[in-house]
Amino acid sequence: MPVISQAPDFSEQVLNWFNRHGRRDLPWQKDLTHYRVWVSEVMLQQTQVNTVIPYFNNFMGRFVNIKTLAEADLDEVLYYWTGLGYYARARNLHHTARIIMEEHKGLFPSTVDQLMSLPGIGRSTAGAILALACNQRHPVLDGNVKRVLTRYHGIEGWPGQSAVERELWELAMQHTPEKNVADYTQAMMDLGATVCLRRHPRCEICPVSKDCFANNYSRQHGLPQTKPKNKMPVRKTIFAILENYQGKILLEHRPPAGIWGGLWAFPECFHEDDIQSWVETKFGYSINKLEYKAPIRHTFSHFHLDIMPVHASVKTRNSKINGEDRYCWYEPWGKKYLGMATPVKKLLQEITLNLVSK
Ligand code: SF4
């Protein structure tokens, strides 16, 4: 049976715990601004704190404020995002920075609704920005907070279902105190990230263990309930790694939407048929030498992509792509900053290593 809400006790217990054990040295907690909180929250949307920290520091080293970010090329923003995944986050960040500069004179909007009208900012991120940066009373409901509330209240059902999510938002609102909102918000995120862990929750040190449903009924491992499983489909593709006589590699700028949108990648061939004739027909190149590399599986949130990389030395005399902006001959040893999909970056690193060891 779900535990009845104990709102005042709950937030007090969480805040007392935070005063003793909370994290206060995360990079985005220093020089606290809307901009830094926003970037960190977007990075943390699908990624753990330890992974985010070096990306955040590099990103802030280059894009020190919203103006710098708005003025930068998207390619460079994607370069600093390479490896973090979910690249729509970086494209939205860049787009939103431009909107804030052009339509809000460089100042962040001060209401949840205004923030939510910007690309890539949902209700939880909007709440976190206003709660953490200016102590406004708004609930947050990221993955960590959902886990704590689901277990504490014994909420059945997958939290991605709208009815379950609605219930969690209500509980999150009830628990959010009138004062110390910034500390409470950080405390809830910390509690989920360091105590109420997904696999091995540390209930013995948890400040709310006494009234926690999952702890009292040994349901930690059944809550929150997981998404009903669909078997992940598998898609296949061939990466055509075309190298010219100078050792430069042909890259293609992907369309802005879709997987790896806006990133640079190898041209893709979708059929196992004769790669030689495909390269000739599409690019006008003839192949000198062809090498099939080890296949790679890259997993997205909703499908696996099985990649067959084919490395070919090509003669480029009759090029059909001269003057086409969406292609470039990339120097793997050079310093050009391009946003790339992770498997593309790894394959280019391998090729560069081979060049060095030759
Ligand atoms: S008692 Fe355990 S399950 Fe309950 S909120 Fe704390 S860590 Fe999570």
CATH number of the domain within which 278 lies: 3.90.79.10
Per-residue model confidence (pLDDT) at position 6 = 45
Instruction: Check whether 356 has a pLDDT greater than 80.
Output: no
**Whole-model pTM?**
0.76
State which ligand 1 atom lies nearest to the alpha carbon of 212.
Answer: 4
Same domain (yes/no): 183, 306: no
Q: Is residue 258 part of a domain?
A: yes
Q: Hey, which of 147, 198, 203, 217 would you mutate to test ligand 1's pocket, going by the most ligand atoms within 8 Å of its Cβ?
A: 203
Tokens 């939510």: give the residue: 116
| Integer CA distances (angstroms), 160 to 45, 220, 315, 328, in order | 15, 18, 52, 41
List, for residues 137-147, the tens digit of each pLDDT value. 999 999 999 99
| One domain for residues 271 and 339 | yes
- Kindly tell me if the per-residue pLDDT of 332 is higher than 90: no
pLDDT of residue 55: 97
In the reported structure, the alpha carbon of residue 154 is separated from the centroid of ligand 1 by a whole-number distance in angstroms of 11
pLDDT band at 231 (very low <50, low <70, confident <90, very high): confident
Give the integer Cα–Cα distance in Å for 157 and 154.
10
Domain with 135 in it = 7-141+176-197
Distance (angstroms) between ligand 1 centre and the Cα of 282 equals 58
Q: What is the 3-state secondary structure (H, E, C) of 243-276?
A: ECCCCCEEEEECCCCCCCCCCEECCEECCCCCHH
pLDDT reading at 347 higher than 90:
yes
Could you tell me if residue 282 is inside a domain? Answer: yes
In the predicted model, is pLDDT for residue 2 greater than 60?
no
Round to whole Å and give the CA distance between 112 and 123: 7
Q: What is the pLDDT of residues 14-23, one digit of tens each?
A: 999 999 998 8
Ligand 1: distance of its center to the CA of 338 in Å?
Answer: 43
CA–CA separation, 55 vs 352, rounded Å?
23
Phi then psi for 241, rounded to 5 degrees?
-95, 95
In a domain, 155, yes or no: no
Q: Is the pLDDT of residue 31 over 80?
A: yes
The answer to whether residue 41 is catalytic is yes
Q: Which two tokens stand for residue 21?
A: 């054990």
CA torsion sign, 184 to 186 to 189 to 195?
Answer: negative
Assess whether 131 and 11 both reside in one domain: yes
Can you say whether residue 97 is alpha, beta or left, with left for phi > 0 and alpha for psi between -120 and 50 degrees?
alpha
Is the domain of 182 the same as that of 53?
Answer: yes
Mean per-residue pLDDT of the chain: 91
Whether 193 and 246 share a structural domain? no
Longest CA span, the chain? 75
Which residues are CB-neighbours of 239 under 8 A, at least 6 positions away?
265, 266, 267, 268, 307, 308, 309, 310, 343, 344, 347
Domain assignment of residue 165, yes or no: no
290 vs 277: CA distance, rounded Å: 13
The CATH number that applies at residue 84 is: 1.10.340.30
Q: Which amino acid is at 263?
A: L
**264-265 and 268-269 strand pairing:** unpaired
Number of H helices and E strands in the chain, helices first, is 14, 8
More confident residue, 320 or 218: 218
- Ligand 1: distance of its center to the CA of 192 in Å? 9
Question: Do 37 and 184 belong together in one domain?
Answer: yes
Q: Cα dist. 214→112, 136, 171, 319 in Å?
A: 32, 30, 16, 65
Closest ligand 1 atom to 148 CA: 5
In a domain, 253, yes or no: yes
**What pLDDT does residue 324 have?**
83
Torsion of CA 41, 42, 43, 46, to 10 degrees: 100
pLDDT digit string, tens, across residues 302-322: 899 999 999 999 998 888 887
| Closest alpha carbon to 31 in 59, 65, 58 | 65
| Residues 24, 92 within the same domain | yes
Residue 296 has pLDDT above 50, yes or no: yes
Centre of ligand 1 to C-alpha 209, Å, is 5
Query: What sign has the CA pseudo-torsion 213, 216, 219, 220?
Result: positive
Q: Are residues 51 and 183 in the same domain?
A: yes
143 alpha carbon to ligand 1 midpoint, in Å? 14
Predicted confidence at residue 230, as pLDDT, reads 79
- 201 CA distance to ligand 1 middle (Å): 6
The ligand 1 site (C-beta within 6 Å) comprises 148, 151-152, 195-196, 201-203, 206, 208-209, 212, 214-215, 220
Question: Is the domain of 182 the same as that of 240?
Answer: no
Q: Which atom of ligand 1 is nearest to the CA of 202?
A: 7
pLDDT in tens, 68-96: 999 999 999 999 999 998 899 999 999 99
Q: Are residues 191 and 239 in the same domain?
A: no
Query: Which of 190, 220, 223 for mutating ligand 1's site (highest number of atoms within 8 Å of CB)?
Result: 220
pLDDT in tens, 242-272: 999 999 999 999 988 888 999 999 999 887 6
Q: Is 44 a member of any domain? A: yes
Is 209 within a domain? no
The verdict on residue 106 lying in a domain is yes
Task: List, in sequence order, every residue forming a beta bridge with 330; answer none if it has no partner.
Answer: 249
Do residue 254 and residue 106 come from a single domain?
Answer: no
Distance CA 173, CA 193 (A): 20
What's the number of domains the chain is made of? Answer: 2
Q: Active site residue: 12, 41, 103, 243, which one?
A: 41
| CA dist., res. 358 & res. 355, Å (int) | 5
* 188, 287: one domain: no
Would you list the DSSP string of 270-315?
-SSS-HHHHHHHHH--EEEEEEEPPPEEEE-SS-EEEEEEEEEEEE
